Structure 1
Amino acid sequence: MMEANDRSDKLSAASVAIDGTRIRTVREAKRLTQLYVASVVGVTTDTISRWENNRYPSIKRENAQKLADALEVPLDDILRQEPPAPEGEADADLTPPSPRRKKLLVLFGLFTLLLLLAVVILSRPPSSAPIAVRWLPRYAAPGEIIPVQIKVTRLPSKPFGFILKEKLPDGMRLVSSVPPSSAAEPARSSLKWLVPSGGNPVVISYSVRTPAPFAQGKEVKVKGEIVLHGEDANRTEEVGGGSDVRIGPYHWADANGDGRIDDDEIMPAYYICDEMKGLGLDWKTIEAIWSGKGYRWDPKNGYTVLK
C-alpha cells in the first residue's frame, strides 16, 4: 500500500509541458476570466498570465490537471504537442534498407569513386613525353608502293629527344624515308630514326613496297615503338594509330576499297603525295583514277583506269 502511495506521489509531482497559447485560446473561447481560472486552480492571476505567455514552459501535473478542469477540457488539450515525425522516419534508422536501396547506395558509391578518379586524372599535369601516331592506308595491292607517316608531338617546355623504331611485316621493304632512316637492316624491314630534342611536332614519312607474292584478302601488320629520353630515365611506348593493311586489288588512296577514288578521298591523297614528294608515290595514276570511273588491278598490268 505504501509503495502504491509513493508511486502516486511521484506521478503527482511530475512536471508536464503546457501550451500557453492553447490555454489562452480555450479560456477566451469559453469566456472565462483569468481570475476565475486562478481561483479554481488555487494560484494567482499573475501565475495564469505567466502560463499563457509561456513564461513557465512546464508545471506540476497536479496543477495542469486542475487547469484543465477549470477550462473544462481534457489534460492533453493544453499540453504542448511535439510535431509528429514524418511517416516512416521514426523507424528509418531501425529498418534495414531494401535490396533496391542497397543497390542504389552501391551504385552511388561507385559513381562517386569514378568521379573522384576522373578529377584526379584530369588534374594531373600533362605528360612531357612525346606521343607517336602512325597513319598508313587501310588497303594496298601486292608489290605496290604505299605511304606511311608517323607524327610525334612533344611539349615545347620539354622537347626531349627520342628513338623511333618500326618493324615491317615479312615481305614488306623500305623504299625511302624523310628524314632518312638512321639505321636499317640489310633486309630493310627493321627501321630506326634518332631524333634529337627540338621543336614540335615531328613528322617522319616513309614509303614501303608491299609483299608481291602474297595471298590477297589477308592483312599485314606494321609494329613500332618510341624510346623516350627523359630527365631521369628512358621509357618505351608503342606507336599508336593504324597498323593493319589488307592486301588485295586495291589502290592505297581508295580508303574504303570500293574500286574508285572519289572526291572525299582525292584531297587526303593529294596532301600525302605533296608532303612525301620524292618517295615514289604515283600522283598521276591517282589523279587519273579520280577523273575516271574507277580502276581495276591485276598482277600483270597493275592499275587500269576505267573510262
Structure 2
Amino acid sequence: MAEANDKNEKVPLPSVAIDGTRTRNIREAKKLTQLYVANVVGVTTDTISRWENNRYPSIKRDNAQKLADALEVSLEEILRQEPAEADGLSPQPAPPPAKRAIVPVIAIVTALLLGLLVFFLLRQPPVPSSATRWTPRFAAPGEPFPVQVKVARQPANPFGFILREKLPAGSRLVSSLPATSSADSELKWLVPSAGTPVTVSFTLQVPASFNPGKDAALKGEIVVHSAGSSNRTEAVGGNGSIHIGAYHWADSNGDGRIDDDEIMPAYYICEEMKGLGLDWKTIEAIWSGKGYRWDAKHGYTVLK
C-alpha cells in the first residue's frame, strides 16, 4: 500500500528563476509583442507581463524553455544570475583601504618661504632714507643759484650717509654747507650718523657761455649706512633740472619780476643759505621795483 501511495504522489516539476528585466529587453530588441510570446509559450499576456516585472520568484522550467524559444535565445540568457558564493559563505566586503597620512607639503613649503622672506627683510636697513633735492626752476648763465638736498632721518633710525651730486657740464661750485669733500664735477659730502633730519645746501654757477634756452641737470645718489646693516644706495629724488635763460632764480614763474608769492620763499632760502653767495639785496630791490632785466654784459638790472 505504501508503494502505491508513493506512485500516486505527484513529483514537483523543476522550476527556474528568470530575469524579467532582461527578458523584456530581449523581446523589445527583437520587436516581439507580448501577445506573440504568450501564444508561443501557451500562456496569457498577463502572465508574460508578470514574468517581465519579476512578479514570480520562479516559473516552470519547461515554460522558461518555451519562453527562450519564443525569444530565439538560449535558456541561460534569460535566467537570473545569482552572485557566486565560495564555500557556502557570502562574500565579505573588502576592508576599506587604510587612510594615508596626507602630508601638507604646500603648507610646509609656504611656511619656509615666508620664514626666508622675513629673515631677509630683517637684514635690510630698518627704514629707507628719503633724500629730496630742491632747485629753482630758472637761473641765468654765470649767476649763482641755490640747491638744497634734504635727508629725512628719525631718532628711531639713526644713520650716516654719503651724498654725491654730479654737476652739469662746466658748472662751478660757489659754496656749500656743510663743506664738500671735493669741488670737481662730482661733489661729495660725508655726514656722520644721527637721528635728526639734515639739509645739504650749496650754490652753483653754470658757465656764462651756457646756451640759453637749454636745461642744466643735476644727478645724485645717497649711500646710507646703518649700524649692523650693509650699505644701501638710492637715487636722490626731487627736481634736478634748471632752465637756463635771462631769469632770476627767485622768479619762479619766469615773468620778469619777483612778486609777493615769490619773495617769502626766496627770503627763507637766503636765510638758510646765508654766506653761500646769494644776493638778497638784489632780490629785495627787484621785488620793490617793477621787475628786472638780465643780459650777459650787465647782469641784472632792476626796473624802477
2:290 equivalent in structure 1? 293
* Letter matched to residue 273 of structure 1: C
Kindly report structure 1 stretches of 4+ aligned residues shifted beyond 4 Å: 1-10, 124-127
Q: Are residues 246 and 8 of structure 1, via their aligned partners in 2, closer, same or farther at CA, if it must alter by over 3 Å?
A: same
* SS of the residue 1:285 aligns to: helix
| 1:248 counterpart = 2:245 | yes
TM superposition score normalised by structure 1: 0.58
Deviation at 1:7, TM superposition (A): 8.7
Q: Whole-Å Cα distance in 2 between the matches of residues 247 and 280 of structure 1?
A: 19
* SS of the residue 2:193 aligns to: coil
Deviation at 1:211, TM superposition (A): 1.9
| 1:175 counterpart = 2:174 | yes
* Letter matched to residue 209 of structure 1: Q
Alignment of 1:181-200 (within 5 A): 181=180, 183-185=181-183, 188-200=184-196
Deviation at 1:227, TM superposition (A): 0.4
Deviation at 1:296, TM superposition (A): 0.6
Q: Are residues 209 and 8 of structure 1, via their aligned partners in 2, closer, same or farther at CA, if it must alter by over 3 Å?
A: same
2:300 equivalent in structure 1? 303
Deviation at 1:232, TM superposition (A): 2.4
2:65 equivalent in structure 1? none
* Letter matched to residue 162 of structure 1: F
Whether contact under 8 Å (1:142, 1:212) holds in the other structure is yes
Whether contact under 8 Å (1:163, 1:193) holds in the other structure is yes
Deviation at 1:302, TM superposition (A): 0.6
1:139 equivalent in structure 2? 138
TM superposition score normalised by structure 2: 0.59
Q: Whole-Å Cα distance in 2 between the matches of residues 298 and 9 of structure 1?
A: 119
Alignment of 1:66-145 (within 5 A): 127-145=126-144
Alignment of 1:2-21 (within 5 A): 4=49
How well do the aligned residues superpose, as a CA RMSD in angstroms? 2.2
Whether contact under 8 Å (1:129, 1:154) holds in the other structure is no
| 1:211 counterpart = 2:210 | no
Q: Whole-Å Cα distance in 2 between the matches of residues 3 and 251 of structure 1?
A: 116
Give percent identity, aligned residues only: 63
Q: Which entry has the higher C-alpha Rg, 1 or 2?
A: 2
| 1:228 counterpart = 2:227 | no
* Letter matched to residue 155 of structure 2: P
Whether contact under 8 Å (1:130, 1:155) holds in the other structure is no
* SS of the residue 1:197 aligns to: strand
2:109 equivalent in structure 1? none
Q: Whole-Å Cα distance in 2 between the matches of residues 256 and 6 of structure 1?
A: 107
Deviation at 1:289, TM superposition (A): 0.7
Q: Whole-Å Cα distance in 2 between the matches of residues 245 and 7 of structure 1?
A: 102
* Letter matched to residue 196 of structure 2: N
Q: Are residues 180 and 4 of structure 1, via their aligned partners in 2, closer, same or farther at CA, if it must alter by over 3 Å?
A: farther
Q: Whole-Å Cα distance in 2 between the matches of residues 6 and 265 of structure 1?
A: 110
1:84 equivalent in structure 2? none
Q: Whole-Å Cα distance in 2 between the matches of residues 225 and 3 of structure 1?
A: 101
Q: Whole-Å Cα distance in 2 between the matches of residues 305 and 4 of structure 1?
A: 123
2:9 equivalent in structure 1? none
* SS of the residue 2:150 aligns to: strand
Q: Whole-Å Cα distance in 2 between the matches of residues 5 and 270 of structure 1?
A: 114
